Amino acid sequence: MERNRFINEQQNQLQKAKFPTISFATYNINGLKSNPDKLYSLIDDLKDFDIIGLNETNISPKDGKYINNELNEGHIIWSKCDPIKKKGKDMALYMKDKWAKHIGKILNPTDNILYVQLIFKQCLISIVQVYMPPNDAQERVEVAKFITDQINEYNNNNNNNYLIIAGDFNAIVNKHQDKLHVTKQWNNNRIFNTLLDNDFIDTYREANPNKKEFTWSNGSNSTRIDYIWLSPNWTNELIHSSIRDAKAVTNSDHNIVTCIYNTSDIIRNYKAFTCARNNNERLIFDYASMDNDKWQGYTTKTDDELVNSNLEILLNQDSHNKKDINSIWQVIKNILLKAAKSKIPNKKIKVGKNMALDRLVQEDPVTGKIELITEPEDIMNRADDQYVELQKHRSHEFDN
């Protein structure tokens, strides 16, 4: 009886909690003109997601109006259409109605960029959906400049603006982790360096530091070219991020990138079931402020620490087992971290004690299929364990 009463209270809280979390997905749908039904299939497959960014829709806002009329819930914002270039063009953002009501600004400077800003009393959430053309240098420059401008605006203003930059970048961050077959030739978009230098968060890699999954395949090779990036003020709000197979949903050669993050700290006055997260801090290094002299100081400090460590003793052993290798690597990590803390400007970011949850992610151990858990009782049973596991993945302090 007491447990039922508690569950009912939690259900009532969840009904009042409009924005405890936001679930976001980005996907290259490879055209809707000839088969708009695959959009309905995608929305149905992602029915628990709040916002879905779409690339390469290849349809005009006029055609999109008819699709909007068919939707039972939610609204789609369509980018303007280039009447000459159709293939690989145009994008859209699908939003559940409760989020769409907060739209305050829409920008569509080119058919490769769609910007939507959501306005709340306590904050702004700015979504930048982009497509980075693989073979058009001028259009790539335009996309990169728009992203850079958004980053600069974020850095020059207060932290009440929360940025989400997502889409198909047609490039990879790390050739060893983000490509199936490592070759000498690989695309590394300079905009990734800008994002990383400004402490933006690659959501999939943040939640899955050692996992190797891909978002595009041509049958012989696979790469991770679709991304969701978050501005640094989202730090420690990430709950989950994954790559979902979409072959059976739309028959596209891309997969879906998803993430879920806590918004109860930034969109306040909305309470939901909370998961304790005491003493949760993250150390942020300000690489952007480093110059040659500072890097030289870091190098010298690292060399000094190496000389004074017991690393040489470990390396000079006649043989090494797995435990020895782990010890060597731990010594190296400690040296790098100690030198970084001493010579690279840094700060610790603290977050609140509780994370509001209205959904969790469950992965089937047999099929690997991801599903969202939205029942309050299931959330209560699983929240603590899932949060602890996520923090284990994200406990690294020094990452570049």
Q: In terms of domains, do 259 and 332 share one? A: no
Q: In terms of domains, do 137 and 226 share one? A: yes
Which residue range(s) make up the domain with 302? 291-344
Q: Is residue 191 part of a domain?
A: yes
Distance (Å, rounded) from C-alpha 103 to C-alpha 108? 14
Q: In terms of domains, do 336 and 212 share one? A: no
Q: Is residue 88 part of a domain?
A: yes
Query: Domain boundary at 243, 271, 299, which?
Result: 271
Looking at per-residue confidence, does 381 or 65 come out higher? 65
Which stretch of DSSP H or E encloses residue 155? Answer: helix 137-156
| E strand spans, 319-384 | 346-350, 354-357, 360-363, 370-373
Phi-psi region of 35 (alpha: psi -120 to 50; beta: other; left: phi over 0): beta
Q: In terms of domains, do 104 and 250 share one? A: yes
Whether residue 11 has pLDDT greater than 60: no
Q: Is residue 245 part of a domain?
A: yes
Query: Domain boundary at 240, 271, 302, which?
Result: 271
Whether residue 188 has pLDDT greater than 70: no
Q: Residue 282: beta bridge partners?
A: 349
Distance (Å, rounded) from C-alpha 383 to C-alpha 21? 14
**Poorest-confidence range of 120-124, 236-240, 248-252, 362-366?**
362-366
Residues 164-190 have a mean pLDDT of 84
Give the type of residue at 188. N
Distance (Å, rounded) from C-alpha 294 to C-alpha 160? 31
Distance (Å, rounded) from C-alpha 43 to C-alpha 51? 10
CA distances from 154 to 51, 159, 235 (A): 22, 7, 15
CATH number, position 193 = 3.60.10.10
Q: Residue 55: beta bridge partners?
A: 28, 91
- pLDDT value of residue 369: 61
Say how many domains are in the chain: 2
Q: In terms of domains, do 211 and 114 share one? A: yes
- pLDDT value of residue 385: 59
Distance (Å, rounded) from C-alpha 237 to C-alpha 235? 6
Q: Could you tell me which residues come within 8 angstroms of residue 110 by beta carbon, excluding any fewer than 6 positions away?
A: 139, 142, 143, 146
Q: Count the Cβ atoms, other than its own, within 10 Å of residue 96.
A: 18
Query: Going by DSSP bridges, is the β-strand pair 354-357/273-276 parallel, antiparallel, or unpaired?
Result: antiparallel
- pLDDT value of residue 171: 93
Q: In terms of domains, do 35 and 170 share one? A: yes
Predicted TM-score of the model (pTM): 0.68
**Poorest-confidence range of 75-79, 155-159, 165-169, 342-346?**
155-159
Q: In terms of domains, do 198 and 325 share one? A: no
Percent of the chain with pLDDT over 90: 38
Query: What length does the chain have?
Result: 400
State the number of CA atoms in the 13 A half-sphere of 361 facing the CB: 23
Whether residue 361 has pLDDT greater than 70: no
- pLDDT value of residue 357: 56
DSSP reduced 3-state for 128: strand
Distance separating the N- and C-terminal Cα atoms of the chain: 52
Residue with tokens 């302090």: 397
Q: In terms of domains, do 236 and 298 share one? A: no
Q: In terms of domains, do 43 and 98 share one? A: yes
- pLDDT value of residue 284: 77
| E strand spans, 51-153 | 51-55, 75-78, 91-95, 103-107, 113-119, 124-131
- pLDDT value of residue 383: 61
Q: Is 183 exposed, middle or buried (0-12, 13-18, 19+ CB in 10 A)?
A: exposed
- pLDDT value of residue 386: 57
Give whichever of 9-13, 42-46, 348-352 has the largest mean pLDDT: 42-46
Query: Domain boundary at 325, 344, 363, which?
Result: 344
- pLDDT value of residue 272: 47
